Homo-oligomer: A and B are copies of this chain.
Amino acid sequence: MGKLPSLKNLSYLLALHQQQNFNRAAAACNVSQSTLSSGIQNLEEQLGCQLIERDHKSFLFTAIGEEIVEQARNIITSTEELVHYAKGHGNILEGPVRLGIIPTIAPFVVGALSKRVQQNYPKLSLQLAEDTTNNLLNALRDGDLDILLLALPMDIQGNQKWTLGRDPFKLVAHKSIADKLGEPVDYDMLPDGSIFLLEKEHCLTGHAVSACQLTDTVKVNPFTATSLHSLVQMADARGGATFMSQMAIDHGILDNTDLIPLKPSGQEASRDIGLVYRATTSRRQTFRKIAEEIATLLPINTLS
C-alpha cells in the first residue's frame, strides 16, 4: 500500500482549483505561497502524475487533475462532516446546516421553516441561500451548501434526493376575462399575449408550461418577470393571466389583486418539490429530519 496524500495537501489543491492562483489560494489556506507550491508538487510526486500544466507564468489543471480535485472534494467534505459529527458528540441535530432554495419556493417556506426548526431543534442553525437551480447545484458540489430545496423533475447529477411533496399549479386570470375561460381552463379563449411568464432561468416556467400542456406560444406575452410577485403585479395590471403555484396563492400572493385562481387543463398540473443532498454525505439523518419539517409545509405532502 503506497502512502496516502495528506488532507492538507489535498485542501491546497482544492483551494488552488477554486482560486486559480497560487497566491490567493495560499492566502485562503492561511499559508505562504511557497508552502502551497511545494504542497502541490509533493502531491504530484506522491500520486505519480501531473495535476497541473505549468507554462511558466500561469497554469492549467490537467484532465486527471480535475478528476482528482473532484474526488479530493469528497474526501475533504467527508472529513469535515466527521469532525462536525464528533464535535457535536454524536448529536446530529446541532450545528450549522446550509440550505439552498430556489426563488419560486423560498418566500413561501423560509418563514415557517425557520420557526419550526428553531422550535423543534434549537441547536440546529439553519442557514439559507436563495439562488437558481444551477448555481445551487454548483454550491452543493463545492461543499458550500449541504442541501437544496428544488422543483422536480430536474437533473440532480450525482446527488440523491427525497421527494417531499407536490405543489399544484393554478392558472390565475384577471377577473375581466376569468369567466370566459371555464374550468379546466380552455387556453383558446385567452387573448393573444395575455399569458405572462417568469424568465426562462426559473424552472417554474418550464414546469408549468409542460405540466399544463400549453402549446400555443402566441398566447404568451414576451415580457417576462423575474419574481413571482412582479409576475402577479404584471398580470393584474395588464388584465392578463399567468401560472401560479398553490403555495404562493396560499401565502396570499393574490391578495389585493383582481386575479382569480382557476383549474388549468393538463392532466397533472403540479410540480414536485424535492430535497437534494450529496450522495456521499454522512449527515443523511440530519437532513431527513429537515426534510420532514419542510414536507409538512407543502400543499401536498408525499414524503414516505
In the complex, are the beta carbons of B79 and A5 less than 8 A apart?
yes
A190 to chain B, nearest CB (A): 42
Q: How would residues 63 to 88 of chain A score, 1 for a CB under 8 Å from any chain B CB and 0 otherwise?
A: 11001100110111011111101110
The reply on A7 being an interface residue by CB < 8 A is: yes
Q: Please, which residues of chain B bring their CB within 8 A of the CB of A74?
A: 78, 280, 282
The reply on A270 being an interface residue by CB < 8 A is: no
Q: What's the Cα separation between A90 and B64 when bound, in Å?
A: 6
Given A7-B4, A83-B5, A279-B279, does the pair A90, B71 have CB atoms closer than 8 Å?
Answer: no
Count copies of this chain in the complex.
2
The reply on A2 being an interface residue by CB < 8 A is: yes
Q: Please, which residues of chain B bring their CB within 8 A of the CB of A6?
A: 6-7
Q: Please, which residues of chain B bring their CB within 8 A of the CB of A57?
A: none
Q: Please, which residues of chain B bring their CB within 8 A of the CB of A68?
A: 82, 85-86
In the complex, are the beta carbons of A71 and B85 less than 8 A apart?
yes
Given A71-B78, A74-B78, A282-B71, does the pair A87, B4 have CB atoms closer than 8 Å?
Answer: no
Q: Please, which residues of chain B bring their CB within 8 A of the CB of A75?
A: 75, 78-79, 82
Residue of B nearest to A2 (CB): B83
In the complex, are the beta carbons of A80 and B49 less than 8 A apart?
no
The reply on A89 being an interface residue by CB < 8 A is: yes
Q: How would residues 1 to 32 of chain A score, 1 for a CB under 8 Å from any chain B CB and 0 otherwise?
A: 11011111001000000000000000000000
Indicate which residue in B47, B78, B87 contacts A83 across the interface (CB closer than 8 Å). Answer: B47
Task: List residues 33-80 of chain A with CB under 8 A from any CB of chain B.
Answer: 46-49, 63-64, 67-68, 71-72, 74-76, 78-80
In the complex, are the beta carbons of A71 and B82 less than 8 A apart?
yes
Q: Please, which residues of chain B bring their CB within 8 A of the CB of A63?
A: 90
Q: Please, which residues of chain B bring their CB within 8 A of the CB of A80?
A: 1, 4
In the complex, are the beta carbons of B85 and A48 less than 8 A apart?
no
Give 11 CB contacts A-B under 8 Å. A1-B80, A2-B87, A4-B7, A4-B80, A7-B7, A48-B86, A48-B89, A63-B90, A67-B85, A71-B282, A75-B79
Known: A5-B83, A6-B7, A7-B7. 6 other contacts (CB 8 A): A4-B8, A4-B76, A64-B89, A67-B90, A71-B82, A71-B85
| A-B CB proximity, top 6 nearest | A47-B86, A64-B90, A71-B82, A4-B7, A75-B78, A49-B86
